[in-house]
């Protein structure tokens, strides 16, 4: 079962969603897909974001849409790829803005594990995908589950910064209590839109300013130490 891979703290926070008929149907769908096709990420990597970022430690939620659909790329963290895997175009643009904004040099690979370990929940709205078929698992139940994740984070008493890039992510704003948390909206880093507002938006310094304004420590955005 999918939820067997989920850490205990997140299971408790998401109990209602995990017990729902829609999640049980999702489990059956993903199991069938894994039997019939190559599905990314692997079962072991599926809930990496939750394993690396415990519920109590979430300071930032960065929302993506769909896992990478090429071999060796997706490993359960939005926008991130496994160490040693070439960075996809959106991630290249993220690194360009990272350097321009907070002077962090482009890392050797595209793994964002260092962010996740500091409390940046790198959450995709859909957590699985068929190889070479983007958005193939959209509309099969993941969205209800990840909406529950967003709500659970919004219920935290400690302030969290929600970073929503692009119109898809911004539709989730209604799930967030903006009176307690900070919502930062911006252009998606995709090559189709990065030049129309992502470059120059300085999201990383904005996140840290928001955290510090709420009395929380900033994120060390360096990926190479």
Measured CA to CA, the distance from residue 225 to residue 177 in angstroms comes to 35
C-alpha closest to that of 102 among 211, 213, 223: 223
Measured CA to CA, the distance from residue 206 to residue 213 in angstroms comes to 10
Catalytic site residue from 19, 66, 101, 109:
66
110-149 core/surface letters (b: 16 or more CB in 10 A; e: else): bbbbbbbebbbbbbbbbbbbbeeeeebbeebbbbebbebb
Residue 66 among the catalytic residues: yes
Measured CA to CA, the distance from residue 132 to residue 122 in angstroms comes to 22
C-alpha closest to that of 36 among 133, 164, 139, 162: 133
**Residues belonging to the active site:** 66
């Amino acid at each position: 079962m999918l939820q067997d891979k989920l850490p205990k703290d997140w299971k408790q926070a998401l109990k209602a969603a995990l017990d729902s008929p829609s999640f049980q149907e999702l489990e059956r769908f993903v199991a069938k897909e894994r039997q019939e096709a190559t599905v990314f990420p692997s079962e072991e990597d599926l809930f990496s974001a939750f394993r690396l970022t415990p519920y109590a430690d979430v300071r930032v939620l960065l929302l993506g849409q769909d896992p990478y659909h090429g071999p060796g790329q997706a490993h359960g963290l939005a926008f991130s790829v496994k160490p040693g895997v070439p960075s996809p175009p959106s991630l290249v643009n993220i690194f360009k803005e990272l350097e321009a904004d907070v002077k962090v040099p482009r890392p050797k690979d595209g793994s964002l594990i260092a962010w996740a370990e500091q409390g940046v929940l790198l959450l995709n709205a859909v957590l699985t995908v068929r190889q070479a078929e983007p958005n193939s698992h959209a509309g099969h139940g993941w969205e209800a589950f990840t909406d529950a994740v967003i709500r659970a984070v919004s219920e935290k008493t400690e302030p969290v910064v929600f970073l929503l890039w692009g119109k898809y992510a911004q539709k989730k704003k209604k799930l967030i209590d903006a009176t307690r948390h900070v919502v930062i909206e911006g252009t998606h880093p995709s090559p189709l839109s990065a030049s129309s507002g992502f470059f120059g938006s300085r999201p990383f310094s904005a996140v840290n300013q928001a955290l510090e304004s709420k009395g929380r420590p900033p994120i060390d955005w360096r990926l190479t130490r």
